[in-house]
Structure 1
Amino acid sequence: MLAEQKTIDQHLDPITIGLRPGLEGVPVTQSAICDIDGIKGELKYRGYPIADLAAQSSFLETTYLLIWGNLPSPQQLRDFEREVQMHRRVSFRVRDMMKCFPASGHPMDALQSCAASLGLFYSRRAIDNPQYVYDAVVRLIAKIPTMVAAFQLIRKGQDPIQPRDDLAYSANFLYMLTEREPDPLSARIFDRCLILHAEHSLNASTFSARVTASTLTDPYAVVASAVGTLAGPLHGGANEDVIKMLEDIRLPENSSSYLDKAIAHKQKIMGFGHREYKVKDPRASILQGLAEELFARFGKDEMYDVARALEKEASNRLGAKGIYPNVDFYSGLVYRKLGIPRDLFTPVFAISRVAGWLAHWREQLGANRIFRPSQIYTGVKTRKWKPAEERSTPENS
């Protein structure tokens, strides 16, 4: 038994067989969508710095850039915005389906089911038809926010609010969610949040989207698979846990002792560290500024002082290891100030990241090869089958 285990351990030695758990650092595709420099802390969409887009662009304009490769002309942008506006509503059958979901269910599970259901309504798989591709993009960008807002009201026993054609994309979502027209500053800041979360190279959910896309299935299944991946706490779900962590710390002066315990017990500090960045995530810096804009207008969140104190302590003690705040650290504070419930933080992330998933879907179709990685087998080589009556003891005893 010991000899067999030793053989297995040798097989698992990454130096011996080149195994890279989690595919860390292993290129599996080429992409022209997103460029990250983790040493300098730079993020670019199609060559445009994220700070410039967040300051000057809109989410729908950035979506167009990501998916079709260039910023739209004024007419192209107007046409795209109008198409999205026309397709915001969802079928009553989708709403009726949501009414059957348990009110205690997580909104990400509801969103995954709803995104997949769109494939039933638009089941023609004509992925070689540019008009089909365009229409699918429009439907998903338009309907995902409506689905998220609808489930939020349905689970509270209320009827969903219909989209308003006179409101822009981000303002309309906040209206459907909160039942009141948002302040222009809130709408603009939310739109900038969507830009910041729209794309981030080959992260787990985007890789999931590309793997699904490589089978040439429909884009609704592609997005549904990505939503399921994003739901995990090590990916999109982290911003919910950041708020819980800050509430557990309670006071800025408690941040040092909290960090002591976390380090001693080798616990993950939510909202810190990123596989790509060795400095502070550029999106975190922008989100921190957005939070301060909201606080200056609508009053400070008491957890912000806790967050700043924790960032200072963690940066002093963990910065040498390249562990700094990532995009999740301040996003929850922004969303909370906008009146977004905590368990909707990740669905809001999905509303934004649909743009990146669809960009990678189109790119994958352009030079497709189905993903089929290999593995290292570590099980028993050969066993002799025995009838049930001859199996007196477990085989591994």
Structure 2
Amino acid sequence: MDILQHDDFEGILIDKLTNLAEQCNLLKNTALFDKYQVKRGLRDADGRGVLVGLTEVGEVHSYIVDEGDIIPVPGMLMYRGISITDLVDGFLKDDRYGFEETCYLLLFGALPNKEELADFQQLLGNYRKLPEHFVRDMILNVPSNNIMNKLARSVLGLYTFDDRADDTSIKNVLKQCVMLIASFPTMAVYGYQAFNKYYADQSLFIHSPRADYGTAENILHMLRPDSTFTKLEARLLDLALVLHAEHGGGNNSTFVTRVVTSSGTDTYSAMAAALGSLKGPRHGGANIKVIQMLEDMKQNLKSWKDDEEIENYLEKILNKEAFDRSGLIYGMGHAVYTISDPRSVIFKDHIARLAIEKGLQDEYEFYSKVETLAPKVISKVHKRDKGVSANVDFYSGFVYRMLDIPPEMYTPLFAISRISGWSAHRIEEIVNAGKIIRPAYKCVAKRRPYTFMDER
């Protein structure tokens, strides 16, 4: 059989199996979900998440319940009981970077003093460099066109270099988590540099991480050919990392971390699974869609300042007549927040200065207009009163673009940040020594007898 015949046969077989699978899919009948009271997406009918666990790591607060009624309130996000707004105000007031302090808080449950923070920063600095030959053998020799897949493979590769990889004692898992927090930026940036060389045919730049730099500084140092960056650029990237570090136990990738951890598996496997979750466009890739949508709008609008024209185009997007025909205004709305996403509020308050530095004031004002007008258009088109606000993805992609960070690195940056939250939840799951997480699925297939081959 030649190649063409093989491909034809494979295509016919796949089509046949696909049609068979679709015919057997009884779950398209949504009435079955109602009949058996299935919580689709682990969410109640009113949109609230099904309570499946307790945590002290992070809290997402967006409503109060008054006599059974759900009343939306401005969104709040707490890390270990501390408001994200207060945390950000604290380190910015002291003119400090905040991501390392945030990692310490999430891992150990308390804010570090000066000596503790210095010791922790030094520990991270010691762990930033990858094992000998790892960069050549695991990253450069096996490049990938997707940095998230490359990052997951690199994480699993580190298992081989750990003599106590399967030791799930708290002390050892904590050491592994700190090492991964420190090395994620190096693995992600080197994965991008390999992609840039072998897929984009660009020059290869491999800068060693600097122990005296923090996480945000090292990312810019390793990513840029000349390793230069301004203090404001590093400040904004550091802020982005802080805002993405943790978001409660119910977000998809953190829940995956806890589910996989509950099986008793090793740290590297748990984190690779979380990366697989975050890669999904419904979770970690939304900020790229925001950038693409706004670029499409700029190409099709005669004026970025005409409210009526902007509203009309947003209506076309919602009516599946423009952009990607999905009917979604990306960056608007959130599974939990309705009135406001505190991360977006903080971002917007700080990115104006960078927009001025980059000469992008007009674009910043355009984003602000879309943020203001989109909720009104969504309410009009969908005829609903439920509040809609900009989420963190609405501005994060704009920040990364102003920092000249390539789109291939947007979701990996999310992972570089969220590994701190995943680590805290993994440790908490181990400390609690809970049962393996195993929800129920009801089989609704009809029972039938086996048919012998000559009777089929």
Q: TM-score, normalised by structure 1?
A: 0.91
CA distance in 2, matches of 1:123, 1:293: 47
Pairing 1:244–2:288 present: no
Point out where structure 2 has 5 or more consecutive residues left out of the alignment: 1-23, 44-48, 63-72, 92-97, 198-203, 321-325, 380-384
The CA distance in 2 between the partners of 1:22 and 1:328, in whole Å, is 21
Q: Does structure 2 retain, via aligned residues, the 8 Å contact 1:186–1:338?
A: yes
CA shift, 1:318, in A, is 3.3
Paired position in structure 1 for 2:228 = 181
- Per-residue Cα deviation, 1:121-171 (whole angstroms, up to 9, x for no partner): 1252222242x1331122101100001111122222314210122322211
- Asked whether the equivalents of residues 8 and 378 of structure 1 are also in contact (C-alpha less than 8 Å), the reply is no
Equivalenced residues, count = 384
Alignment of 1:1-397 (within 5 A): 12-14=32-34, 16-24=35-43, 25-38=49-62, 39-57=73-91, 58-91=98-131, 92-102=133-143, 105-122=145-162, 124=164, 125-130=166-171, 132-157=172-197, 158-179=204-225, 180-201=227-248, 202-250=250-298, 251=301, 252=304, 253=306, 254-265=309-320, 267-300=327-360, 303-318=363-378, 320-367=385-432, 368-380=434-446, 382-391=447-456
Change in CA separation of 1:310 and 1:224 when aligned onto 2, cut-off 3 Å: same
Check 1:300–1:369 CA distance in 2 against 1; reply closer, same or farther (3 A cut): same
Distance 1:8 1:54, change over 3 A: closer
Amino acid across the alignment from 1:309: K
Specify whether residues 10 and 137 from structure 1 end up closer, same or farther in structure 2 by C-alpha distance, changes over 3 A only: closer
SS in 2 for 1:220: helix
Moved more, 248-257 or 201-210: 248-257
Deviation, structure 1 residue 349: 0.6
| Superposition deviation, residue 108 in structure 1 | 1.0
**Contact 2:174/2:427 (8 A) holds in 1:** no
State how far apart, in whole Å, the 1-side matches of 2:283 and 2:26 are. Answer: 34
Offset of 1:296 from its aligned partner? Answer: 2.1
2:318/2:378 contact within 8 Å kept: no
- Give TM-score, length-normalised by structure 2: 0.80
Q: Is this contact kept in 2: 1:295–1:301, CA < 8 A?
A: yes
Specify the SS of the correspondent of 2:265: coil
How has the CA–CA distance of structure 1 residues 111 and 7 changed in structure 2, closer, same or farther, with 3 Å as cutoff?
Answer: closer
The DSSP-based 3-state class of the residue aligned with 2:338 is coil
Instruction: Please report how far the alpha carbon of residue 356 of structure 1 lies from its aligned counterpart in structure 2 after TM superposition.
Output: 0.4
Q: Output the CA distance in 2 between the equivalents of 1:7 and 1:116.
A: 35
Whichever residue aligns with residue 443 of structure 2, its letter is Y
- Residue 279 of structure 1 aligns with an amino acid whose one-letter code is I
Q: Is the 8 A contact 2:290 2:394 kept in 1?
A: yes
Q: Distance in 2 between matches of 1:211 and 1:275?
A: 21
CA distance in 1, matches of 2:443, 2:81: 41
Shift of 1:298: 2.5
1:249 aligned partner, one-letter code? M
The runs of 5 or more residues in structure 1 that have no matched partner are: 392-397
Q: Read off the aligned partner of 2:315 and give its amino acid letter.
A: D
Aligned residue number for residue 394 of structure 1: none
Report the Cα offset of residue 234 of structure 1. 0.8
Between the aligned residues of both structures, percent identity stands at 36
What is the Cα deviation at residue 94 of structure 1? 4.1
- CA deviation vs aligned residue, 1:212-248 (integer Å, no higher than 9, x gap): 1111111111111111100111111000111000001
Distance in structure 2 (CA, Å) of the matches to 1:19 and 1:156:
45
Residue 68 of structure 2 is matched in structure 1 by none
Call closer, same or farther: CA 1:208–1:223 in 2, change over 3 Å.
same
- Matched-pair contact (CA < 8 Å) for 1:238–1:328: yes
Whole-Å separation in 2 of the counterparts to 1:329 and 1:7:
34
Matched residues in 1 for 2:419 and 2:444: separation?
37
User: Matched residue of 1:112: which SS?
Assistant: helix
Equivalent AA in structure 1 for residue 206 of structure 2:
P
Deviation at 1:376, TM superposition (A): 2.1
Alignment check: 8 A CA contact 1:301 1:333 kept: no
**Quick one: distance in 2 between partners of 1:19 and 1:384?**
28
